[in-house]
Amino acid sequence: MPLLCLGLSHKTAPVEIRETVAFTPKELGPVARELTDLPGINEAVVVSTCNRMEMYLGIDSRELAQEARSQAESWLRRRFGIEQDFPAETFFHHAGPEGVRHLFAVASGLDSMVLGETEIFGQIKDAYRAAHEHGATSRNLNKLFQEAFRVGKLVRNTTEIQRGSTSVGAVAVELAEKLFGDLAGCQVMLLGAGEISRRTAQSLQSRGASSIIVSNRNYDRAVEFAAEMKGRALAFDDWQKEVHAVDILISGTSAPHTIVHPEDLHAPLRRRSNGRPLFIIDIAVPRDVDPAVNDLDSVYLFDIDALEKIADEGRQRRQREMHRCEEIIAEHVRASAIFRPTTHPKLPGIDPAPSQSC
């Protein structure tokens, strides 16, 4: 049975268009079922995330492929009340093996905005489960999606496509885990109440860091900030008194000079009895923390440039792994028993390359 893949993604459409053509998670099953009611479409899975909306359709025969595609596009227009013509490259469609390759690449995170990210794998699983539960999938799409999950896992386990973090916040979390292992119970102190500090602290909180202390020159702002993060505020002059119990110190003030010096940490470090490391993230420009602090035992200081550099290395590492991932995918597309090109060399009227609008 031929496969048809229609949709749009962050590569073909800006967010203004993507936000108008999207389904909620609850709608995925019913809309997949609705698609199978269209003439020529036997099976359907709809994937909808903030970066893509894709429909994987199992169609009756290649002779009906063009008809099925028109039906699906018309249904999409009706569903979203699309009247205007989007730019030609907004929607893509892939047929047969090219559609299989596309699904494998998406499941492996190769088509994601952040190369190698893992969230998409779970989103495709959810989409497939929803379609399956609504009776929208059968033998062919079941086999195809199971194979896609297998390939996605294989790519992640045998390459470094998800190795290394690609954003400053993610690098901070990764380094914290490198130092402490489990972040549960870790105490975080924020010096300054800037946006990047808040986001970094929230990333750490999402991984289990439990206690947030906010210290800011403007105490009211610290109170407000602490309330937002379910932490507690601390007068700026008192941060040295409490830093001995802190595991991660995030500094992001707008001070024109350094505010954390080695001598500020000598006494607090002596009070830390169990040799726990102190991770200092200095995201301020100009820097808040004297670089000499990094020479202290058990203190690990990373400024914004160091974090950016690691994130950049992570991005480059993932980019270098692309070729290996594509080889694995190509091998599995070739080996895939369904949607083989020999059976369905080309669907009439369907060009495998991205093309016209809906």
Q: Which is nearer to other proteins, 266 or 334 (CB)?
A: 266
Q: Which helix (H) or strand (E) holds 224?
A: helix 219-228
Q: Which is nearer to other proteins, 30 or 277 (CB)?
A: 277
Residue 173 CB, shortest distance to other proteins, in Å, is 13
Q: Which helix (H) or strand (E) holds 147?
A: helix 139-158
d(CA 294, CA 47): 47
- Dihedral, 212, 218, 219, 222 alpha carbons, nearest 10: -30
- Among residues 14, 16, 19, 106, the alpha carbon closest in space to that of 55 is found at 106
Task: Give DSSP secondary structure letters for 72-84.
Answer: HHHHHHHHHT--S
Residue 300 CB, shortest distance to other proteins, in Å, is 5
Q: Which helix (H) or strand (E) holds 15?
A: helix 15-18
Q: Which of 50, 186, 325, 358 is catalytic?
A: 50
Q: Which is nearer to other proteins, 42 or 200 (CB)?
A: 200
Residue 179 CB, shortest distance to other proteins, in Å, is 5
d(CA 187, CA 243): 10
Q: Which helix (H) or strand (E) holds 3?
A: strand 3-9
Residue 333 CB, shortest distance to other proteins, in Å, is 24
Task: Give DSSP secondary structure letters for 91-105.
Answer: SEEEEHHHHHHHHHH
Q: Which is nearer to other proteins, 239 or 302 (CB)?
A: 302
Q: Which is nearer to other proteins, 71 or 159 (CB)?
A: 159
The structure tokens 């892939």 sit at 94
Question: Which residues of this chain interact with other proteins, rule CB under 8 A?
Answer: 157, 160, 163-164, 175, 177-181, 269-270, 272-277, 294, 297-298, 300, 302, 306, 309-310, 313
Residue 295 CB, shortest distance to other proteins, in Å, is 8
Q: Which is nearer to other proteins, 273 or 342 (CB)?
A: 273
β-bridge mates for residue 54, sequence order: 7, 47
Q: What proportions of the chain, in percent to the nearest 5, are helix, strand and coil?
A: 50, 15, 35
50 is catalytic: yes
Q: Which is nearer to other proteins, 102 or 156 (CB)?
A: 156
Residue 192 CB, shortest distance to other proteins, in Å, is 22
Residue 53 CB, shortest distance to other proteins, in Å, is 33
Determine contact, residues 45/76, Cβ cutoff 8 Å: no
- What is the three-class DSSP state of 43? strand
Angle subtended at Cα 180 by Cα 259 and Cα 232, rounded to the nearest 5 degrees: 50
Determine contact, residues 144/107, Cβ cutoff 8 Å: no
CB 243: neighbour CB atoms within 10 A?
Answer: 24
Determine contact, residues 103/56, Cβ cutoff 8 Å: yes
Catalytic positions, written as ranges = 50
